[in-house]
A and B are shown apart, each in its own frame.
Chain A
Amino acid sequence: QVHLVESGGGLVKPGGSLRLSCAASGFAFSDYYMSWIRQAPGKGLEWVSYINSVGSTVDYADSVKGRFTISRDNARNSLYLQVNSLRPEDTAVYYCATGRYSSYWGQGTLVTVSS
């Protein structure tokens, strides 16, 4: 059974940083592209970033480019998102999900950016 569990969210001041993690199990993690998708409170889904199966290709939404970094550790079946220079508008639930279109999603981790 596929399982994705995000962690690392929390309350942070503007300009602060966090490292979000996603632990994967139940599937061949190293074979899959992975994505981060976020959802601000009461708003729609926003694609944030993706990484290919070996970590050699990544891309980001313009809204986070230069501030967020996606990475993965296939030996640990883990996906990461380093989020720096956080802004209030980055407040959202951050989901990790498989693939470019997402068959499987975690339950999300809440990032709140507020002074």
Chain B
Amino acid sequence: EIVLMQSPGTLSLSPGERATLSCRASQSVSSSYLAWYQQKPGQAPRLLIYGASSRATGIPDRFSGSGSGTDFTLTISRLEPEDFAVYYCQQYAGSPFTFGQGTRLEIK
């Protein structure tokens, strides 16, 4: 089983700042089969990024994903008020398709 570790656990930033979220895998994620999701309170998660760097339909270009192997990053270039939420990474290279524990992005 691939274990995903997200850091930091909580990130406190202000609107307009740049956010960098990390997801590290316990073993290489083949073909960069890594996704990122955003979840707001009381809502289902929303897909942001798949294939490590491809934006899902309708996702603003301030969201970008990068990385390969065991180290992946989600970057939000300029934070908007609606971006404050919890973010999860997920690998789907091999079952079980595990999630990271999440990073909470909060307003400073």
A: residues with CB less than 8 A from B are 35, 37, 44-47, 50, 59-62, 95, 99-103, 105-108
Are B96 and A45 within 8 A (Cβ)? no
What's the Cα separation between A46 and B100 when bound, in Å?
Answer: 9
We find that the number of chain B residues with CB closer than 8 angstroms to chain A is 24
A9 to chain B minimum Cβ distance, whole angstroms, is 14
Cβ of B107 < 8 Å from any Cβ of A? no
Are A108 and B44 within 8 A (Cβ)? yes
Beyond A105-B45, A107-B44, whether A44 also contacts B95 by CB under 8 A is no
> Contact partner of B88 among A35, A44, A95, A100, CB < 8 A?
A44
- The 10 A-B residue pairs with the shortest CB-CB distance in the complex, in nearest-first order: A105-B44, A101-B35, A100-B92, A59-B95, A45-B99, A44-B102, A101-B92, A47-B97, A101-B50, A44-B101
Cβ of B47 < 8 Å from any Cβ of A? yes
